[in-house]
Structure 1
């Protein structure tokens, strides 16, 4: 009959196994598809897998008081997996926090390997194949002096984990990384619980005290804490990529699209025209009339505010399929794809021109009027034969802009690509 005490062990073993599989898959996804340096994901996945073996073996151990064969295998697996769970967690802390450990990890693994070899072979110095009633809750194997050394080694590993986390916490406090210190605090708490429960189980094993199995609680708490920290790390990776994409995609001052995105969008629209998904495209290049004088008279802060307000006006007056991008300085481009035969681009630009000229701009009491000049050109499928059509469209629209400037500014100049054929 399965003891009630072993039920949480079977449950935590299943959860740890699921976490291990999830983070192994995540590691390969991030490593080979996105080329992220996330070796610590693999280390944690191995630690979670080892924890799953530890919980399962401990559960069998608790239920093996009457079966020496089961007890023999389960007890030895518990001893081996307990060591490697701790040393893999230690390895994770060193890798994740980029901590330069004064004690080499390879020696920790080597010592664990030596104890594992001793644990595999029944012997009177470590573990014999004989019943030994460790407590009223479960039975273990007869142990020798090397088993006590194993217990001391486990304690050293646990203390070394805490030592590293304390040093990482101090380092982050000095760097004022407040958000990061909270994760280290969580790990410190989990590892302290792990060490205390591990010591209590060791004392129970050598009949100093008589407690039910507790090590699994600390071990599972550490596993869940690391998993949570890696979830936060995934969120941080996503946020960093999102910010990078925003910097590449948007102009930092006006939040109009960037020049690099404009080139991509322009190419995509032309490709859509070639596939008959769009009827045509209108490109409008514009700038602010007398922008230098505005900067000189009202200051650059007001000049920047003017560009932001003009961008807002345009976003409010264009369609969802349209987009505005900043070329640089006070020069912008509006792309207006056309889905139908009727081209409403000129009407949209006229509405924008009028709105801009009728608005007031400036910060605080420094209010002033401003206007813009626009140059437009349209293309359809019949213009796809042009070499470097995106460049031709922008050049032609730029010429139309200069034409509008010569008309007295605050005007719309319209050019045609036919003149360039």
Structure 2
């Protein structure tokens, strides 16, 4: 059952990475800034204070807003900028800072973008230090730096692919590929939280139930029933908009959450879905149609209440003889 209030939002992997890197960097760089001030090394002191302020601000921003895309890119830029300028000011004695920076940006940027960014920075460092680096030191630096880059690239790329696979497994129905009930409930809570902040954008819910499905399932077996569910989902997915998402709510019940969609437009969508299923040849042979209930979100309504109104409209469509669309 969907709860009446939204739970505390869990932090994503991207948030945790940015918060960990920005928090650790802020704490780690601050003592160096204090030391540079005591040594009256004002140029590097100002650079370190800039890093503390910028990275600390990113920590606070991500912690409060849960946004990660732009902060991640800014953090990657700040990290490399500070390292590059430090090396520019202090010379080869600061080269060791490039290695944690190289590793960090692969957790903040897409792997290909991070690789290109890293190569540009490494070439720039080599140019800046061309008069200080011997051939042996340059070779040693680039071999270790490229090795770090390749390791970070492989690790970050594999991590992101595994994360994507786990997310799909956790949020998708394994039979049909539609979103599962867990994903639907989270989406409903997210949509409602947005609606309570911004009520000018309407959102509607379309609940569909397959008519006569139990009879077909009992007559031909579960394998045939599974095939029907797969064909149904394929048929609907061809007709939903890119902004909408299909979820499997129960056995043969499916939900579409249509954002930025007033009720009259949601009614048109519901009728299109009903017509498409009625005229899908293979489903028609098995006498499969759908009954559809549509409900627009009302202010201060809970997810449970919203879904309940759509459910009642769907049962009204069944009472009218099935293969109908009704509005809450």
User: With structure 1 as the length reference, what TM-score do the two structures score?
Assistant: 0.44
Aligned partner (choices 370, 374, 383) of residue 292 of structure 2: 374
Match of 2:158 in 1: 236
Determine if the alignment matches structure 1 residue 411 to structure 2 residue 299.
no
Cα 1:327/1:20, change in 2 over 3 Å: farther
Match of 2:300 in 1: 385
Cα 1:19/1:405, change in 2 over 3 Å: farther
Match of 1:400 in 2: 313
Deviations 1:187-235 (A, max 9, x none): xxxxxxxxxxxxxxxxxxxxxxxxxx8x997996576456423321211
1:282-297 counterparts in 2 under 5 A?
A: 282-297=204-219
**In 1, Cα distance between equivalents of 2:295 and 2:101:** 51
Match of 2:268 in 1: 347
User: With structure 2 as the length reference, what TM-score do the two structures score?
Assistant: 0.55
Cα contact 1:286–1:372 (8 A) shared by 2: yes
**In 2, Cα distance between equivalents of 1:260 and 1:239:** 22
**In 1, Cα distance between equivalents of 2:179 and 2:162:** 19
Cα contact 2:102–2:148 (8 A) shared by 1: no
Alpha carbon RMSD of aligned pairs, Å? 4.0
Cα contact 2:291–2:314 (8 A) shared by 1: yes
Residue 371 of structure 1: how far off its partner (Å): 0.9
Cα contact 1:359–1:369 (8 A) shared by 2: no
Match of 1:69 in 2: none
**In 2, Cα distance between equivalents of 1:251 and 1:19:** 50
3-state DSSP of counterpart to 1:391:
helix
**In 1, Cα distance between equivalents of 2:170 and 2:240:** 22
**In 2, Cα distance between equivalents of 1:19 and 1:303:** 64
Aligned partner (choices 276, 280, 285) of residue 359 of structure 1: 280
Residue 17 of structure 1: how far off its partner (Å): 9.7
Structure 1 residue ranges without an equivalent (≥5): 1-13, 34-51, 63-212, 416-421
Deviations 1:87-141 (A, max 9, x none): xxxxxxxxxxxxxxxxxxxxxxxxxxxxxxxxxxxxxxxxxxxxxxxxxxxxxxx
Cα contact 1:360–1:369 (8 A) shared by 2: no
Residue 307 of structure 1: how far off its partner (Å): 1.6
Cα contact 1:250–1:256 (8 A) shared by 2: yes
Deviations 1:51-72 (A, max 9, x none): x9xxx9xx75x8xxxxxxxxxx
3-state DSSP of counterpart to 2:238:
helix
Determine if the alignment matches structure 1 residue 252 to structure 2 residue 167.
no
Cα contact 2:291–2:322 (8 A) shared by 1: yes
3-state DSSP of counterpart to 1:328:
coil
**In 2, Cα distance between equivalents of 1:21 and 1:222:** 13
Cα 1:223/1:276, change in 2 over 3 Å: closer
Residue 317 of structure 1: how far off its partner (Å): 2.3
Cα 1:367/1:409, change in 2 over 3 Å: closer
3-state DSSP of counterpart to 2:259:
strand
Aligned length: 220
**In 2, Cα distance between equivalents of 1:19 and 1:354:** 67
Cα 1:219/1:282, change in 2 over 3 Å: closer
Residue 22 of structure 1: how far off its partner (Å): 4.7
